[in-house]
Amino acid sequence: MRIGFIGLGTMGSRMASRLLDSGYPLLVYNRTAAKLKPLIVEGALAASSVDEVSKEADVLFTSLSMPADAEEVYLGENGVLSKGHEELVCVDCTTVGVDTSRKIYAEAVKRRIFYLDAPVSGGPEGAEKGTLTVMVGGDREAFIRVEPVLRVIGENIQYLGESGSGSAAKLVNQYLVAVNLLAAAEAMVAAGKIGLNQKQLYELLRVSYGQSRMLERLMEQFVLPGNFEPGGAMKYLLKDLRLSNKLLSQSGMEPISGKVAQDAYEKAFLAGWGDKDMASIYCWLADKLAD
C-alpha cells in the first residue's frame, strides 16, 4: 500500500513521520518545498505536485490549514478528485465545516473515489507519539480499508457515520477547547492580579473540580515556563471556533459561551497574538487588565 501525504505543517509532518517509521512507502507534497526535506531524509519520496500524489497513492492523507485549502486541493482544476484514480481512499485530517466535507464527498462519489473526513485531536505531541484521537465520517467500507493505517497515528479511532460526522465531532471538541481555555486563562490572570501564587493555585485546582485538560496545558506548557510559541496557533483555533459557532447555530442552539469566546479571540488576534499558541489568550487578557 503506497501512501501519499499532502500538507506537512505542524501536525502533518509528525503524522507522516510516524507512517514512515511504520514502514509504509510514502510520497509527500507540500506547497512550501522546504518542509519536505526532513521527511526526505527519513526516506520519503518527494512529489512535484498534488497531481502526482493523487495518481500514485493508494491512500492519500491531507492535513491542511483552512477550509479553502481543502477545497482547492480536492476540487481544484488539478486537484485530487480530477487527477486521482478510481478506488483511491482520501483521508482528510483538516478541520473544516460539515458543509465542506459533504461537498468534497459528493464530488468524490461521482468519480468513484472514497473521501473520509477524519480530523484529529491531541496536538503536536499526540501526532508525534501516535496517540491522536481520529474522528471519521464517510463510507464504512473505506474506513475499514484504512483503519490499520489510522492506528499508526492514533490510539482512539472512532467511526461516527455518514460524511460530515467526523468534522461535526471535531467542531464540538473545538468549541469546548476554546471556551475552556478562555475560562482557564481568565481565572489564572485574575488569580495573579489579586495576589494568589499561580503555581500553588494550579496545584490546588488540578486535584479539584476546577481541573481541565486545557487548564493543565495552559499552565504546564505555557504560563509556568513562560513560552507561548505554537503548539497550536490561535488563528487556527479562531477559525475552528467560527465553524463551531456556525454548527451550533445550524442545530438550533444559540452558542452563548462560544460567541463570548469568539469575540475574545477575535480581539486577541487583532492585537497580534494570532501566530502565537492559543494559550496566548492568557497574555492578551493580562495586557488588557494592565491597561
Residues 197 and 278 in one domain: yes
Q: Do 240 and 155 fall within a single domain? A: no
Give the CATH number of the domain where residue 206 resides: 1.10.1040.10
Q: CA distances (Å), 36 to each of 20, 45, 71, 187, 197, in order?
A: 13, 9, 22, 41, 45
For strands 120-121 and 132-137, give the pairing: antiparallel
Identify whether residues 191 and 89 lie together within a single domain.
no
CA-wise closest residue to 138 among 110, 166, 157: 166
Q: Residue 10, exposed/middle/buried by CB under 10 A (0-12, 13-18, 19+)?
A: middle
Which residue among 100, 128, 161 closes a domain? 161
Model pLDDT, residue 90: 98
Name the residue range of residue 37's domain. 3-161
CA angle 131, 137, 140 (to 5 degrees): 100
Domain final residue pick, 134, 161, 188: 161
176 and 228 belong to one structural domain:
yes
- One domain, residues 149 and 173: no
Same domain, 16 and 134: yes
Pair 156, 251 in one domain:
no
Beta-bridged to residue 133, according to DSSP, are 121, 156
Residue pair 60/89 in contact (Cβ under 8 Å)? The answer is yes
- The residues annotated with a catalytic role in the active site are 170
Q: How many separate domains does the chain show?
A: 2
Task: Note the pTM of the prediction, 2 decimals.
Answer: 0.95
Q: What is the pLDDT of residue 290?
A: 78
Q: For residues 182 and 206, what is the distance between their CA atoms, to the nearest angstrom?
A: 17
Residues 109 and 216 in one domain: no
Cα gap 56→26, rounded to integer Å:
10
Q: Is 106 exposed, middle or buried (0-12, 13-18, 19+ CB in 10 A)?
A: exposed
Where b means 16+ CB within 10 Å and e means fewer, 269-283 reads beeebbebbbbbbbb
CB of 91 closer than 8 Å to CB of 140? no
Evaluate whether 42 touches 75 at the Cβ level (below 8 Å): no
SS3 180: helix
Q: How far is the CA of 51 from the CAs of 28, 54, 58, 282, in angstroms?
A: 12, 5, 14, 42
Question: Can you give the pLDDT at residue 231?
Answer: 85
Residues 134 and 62 in one domain: yes
For residue 124, the model assigns a pLDDT of 92
What pLDDT is recorded for position 291? 72
- Which residues of the chain form beta strands (DSSP E)? 3-6, 26-29, 45-46, 59-62, 89-92, 114-117, 120-121, 132-137, 154-161
Q: What is the pLDDT along the chain (291 residues), one digit of tens a residue?
A: 899 999 999 999 999 999 999 999 999 999 998 999 999 999 999 999 999 999 999 999 999 999 999 999 999 999 999 999 999 999 999 999 999 999 999 999 999 999 999 999 999 999 999 999 999 999 999 999 999 999 999 999 999 999 999 999 999 999 999 999 999 999 999 999 999 999 999 999 999 999 999 999 999 999 999 999 888 999 999 999 999 999 999 999 999 999 999 999 999 999 999 999 999 999 999 998 877
DSSP code at position 270 = I
- CATH, residue 40: 3.40.50.720
Residues forming beta bridges with residue 132, ordered by sequence position: 154
Is the same domain home to 243 and 128? no
C-alpha 53/C-alpha 32 separation (Å) is 15
Q: Are residues 137 and 179 in the same domain?
A: no
pLDDT at 233: 94
Q: Domain check: are 250 and 110 in the same one?
A: no
Locate cell 507519539: which residue? 129
* Structure confidence at residue 229 (pLDDT): 86
Could you say which of 144, 161, 178 is where a domain stops?
Answer: 161
